[in-house]
Structure 1
Amino acid sequence: MSDCGQHGITLIAFVGSVFSPYYAWARGRGRANPDNHCALNVAIYSKGQGRWAMTERGQRHCARSARQFTIGPSQLNWDGDCLTIDIDEVCVPVPRRVRGRIKLWPQQLFGYSTPLDGAGRHRWGPLAPASRIEVDLSAPDLKWQGHAYLDSNEGDEPVDQGFHTWDWSRARMRDGSTVVFYDMQAPGTEDRVLSLRFTPKGTVEPIATPPVQRLPKTAWRIDRRMRSTQAVCVQEQLEDTPFYQRALLQFDYAGEPLLAFHETLSVPRLVSPVVQAMLPWRMPRRA
């Protein structure tokens, strides 16, 4: 988010894209190579200049090492202090260019990782929950600075084998801490919730889990919820798809009003044949 609160951006670099219908179809034919299903998802939230791009690239278009990840014409580079993302993508179905450079400076690096499921096949951990970001784009023409969050997810099996539904949120507190709620639900089982505070000193503190606050269903009728001691308000709906939603929420934690990035994933919706048939229209592939 920009310091002025008027701009936002989300970037996701995939190796073995969990949302890819091509990867799912390849797994159906046998063991699939995740390096043959890479993508850089770019979502820009600026009034009048919004963009969304996610083109999957085959292995011959990609390369990765400990410090660099090339995905077609885009790439990510880590120099030890700064993560630089050079973007050169095209939106679909309306072709609009997304081009420019993003720089992210972690204020504190974390080596924290935790299993998300009982078998430990899916793991998550923030790398830099509090960071500074600089956005310099030529298409669309956007230049701003602000605060950011960087994390990592990895799995040893397809996402539909480990999850049913999750609600995830992160919010920045006045003291520079980042509060994260990872709320996972499945029919017939108890909720699994991670409630954590990542401090500027580099510590990870478990926090009390607030009660569930129900949110209005999205336009695609996705159920969603948030953890908060007070009522929650949807400030802005950023993404609304048949299986996934992203929004900005106003909520309260420890008596402090906060603004959270919030996401909901419905795995049954994602893997439904109808949605899988729709996805190529938004996620083209370059083999």
Structure 2
Amino acid sequence: MSDCGTKAVSVIGFIGSVFSPWYAWSGRRDPANHCCINVATYGKGGRFTMTDRGRAALKTAPNTLQVGPSSMHWTGRDLVIDIDEISGPPMISRVRGQITVTPRAVTSVELPLTPDGAHIWRPFAPSSDITVDLEAKGWQWSGHGYFDANFGTRALEQDFCFWTWGRYPTKAGATCIYDAVRRDGTTLDAAIAFDGAGRAQTVDAPPRTRFKRSLWQVKRETRADPGVMPRQVLPMLDAPFYSRSAVQTQLNGEVVTGVHEALDLNRFASPLLKPMLAVRVPRRRGWHNDRT
């Protein structure tokens, strides 16, 4: 998020693009044949790009992920993201430039999301500085961010009905909330506080509190002190099964604003949703590495 709070950006690298209808239709047998660097910018002039690419577009090295014309590279100090994508409708245009994420500390935390470890969340850097330099007017800014990853060996909708996630900067560092309802009826209720050095501890967070549904009526909840109603302060991504937004809440007496996500896997599992997603997620099977 920008320091002024009016702009934000998210970048996700996928090997096995879990939200791609093309990957689902393929039977999810070949993750490398459905890869993507998804870029979304939020605020005035925001764009959304998510192109499902074939294995010819994928190139990996110990410190680099390249998918087609875009890449992520870890320098040992910074995560440098070079972007060259085309946004989807209704605002079709090129999204090009560089984003640099500089962790304030790198953690060693891994959180299994299921008892058997089939899904794992890895918060590499819950507190980071970010610099955005895109080829668009007003899209040169700095702010705060985070760097994390999810790994899984089964489809999300196979193991989860619903989950919410939130990362809230605090005076001490950052608090991350991961709450989920699993298919077997059990729940995940995780709150982890990170200090400025990246040290983590599980903390008691206030109760789950529902707040206003998204435009697509996706249920939303996060943690909040009793009597406090969380509220959206910046809309980001709104889809029939997914909501991302900046949310203000209060945790143990501290008012915080961070990125919040809600994911309805029951909706996502519907076969009726996949053709809708295909409009926003084009498939590009081939790629030549010498392309610019």
Offset, 1:174: 1.9
Distance 2:83 2:185 in 1: 41
RMSD: 1.4
Cα offset for 1:201?
2.2
Gaps of 5+ in 1: none
Separation in 1, partners of 2:114, 2:182: 11
Deviation at 1:51, TM superposition (A): 0.6
Give the counterpart of 2:187 among 165, 188, 191: 191
User: Which residue among 245, 250, 253 is the counterpart of 1:252?
Assistant: 250
Question: 1:8 aligned to 2:8?
Answer: yes
Range with bigger deviation, 139-148 or 84-93 = 139-148
Aligned 8 A contact 2:233 2:245 in 1: yes
Partner of 1:87: 83
Q: Is the contact between residue 85 and residue 96 of structure 2 (CA under 8 Å) also seen in structure 1?
A: yes
Which structure carries more relative contact order (alpha carbon 8 Å, separation 6+)?
2
Distance in 2 (alpha carbons) for counterparts of 1:124 and 1:39? 19
Match of 2:66 in 1: 70
CA–CA distance in 2 between the matches of 1:247 and 1:5?
12
Mapping of 1:229-244 within 5 angstroms? 229=225, 230-244=228-242
Q: State the Cα distance separating 1:140 from its structure 2 match.
A: 5.3
For the Cα contact (< 8 Å) 1:98–1:140, is it kept in 2? no
Partner of 1:283: 281
Give the CA deviation at 1:139: 3.5
Q: Look up the SS of the partner of 2:50 in the other structure.
A: strand
Displacement of 1:188 after TM fit? 6.9
Q: Is this contact kept in 1: 2:206–2:252, CA < 8 A?
A: no
CA–CA distance in structure 2, aligned partners of residues 236 and 58 of structure 1: 34
Kept after mapping to 1: 8 A contact 2:52/2:281: yes
Give the aligned residue type for 2:67. Answer: I
Aligned with residue 32 of structure 2, among 26, 31, 35: 35
> Which consecutive segments of 4 or more residues in structure 1 shift more than 4 A?
none
Give the TM-score normalised by structure 1.
0.94
Shift of 1:168: 0.5
* Aligned residues with identical type, % of pairs: 38
Q: How does 1:127-276 map to 2 (within 5 A)?
A: 127-139=124-136, 141-175=138-172, 177-186=173-182, 189-229=185-225, 230-276=228-274
Number of aligned residue pairs: 282
Q: Which runs of 5+ in 2 are unaligned?
A: 286-292
Residue 189 of structure 1 deviates from its aligned partner by 2.3
Shift of 1:231: 1.9
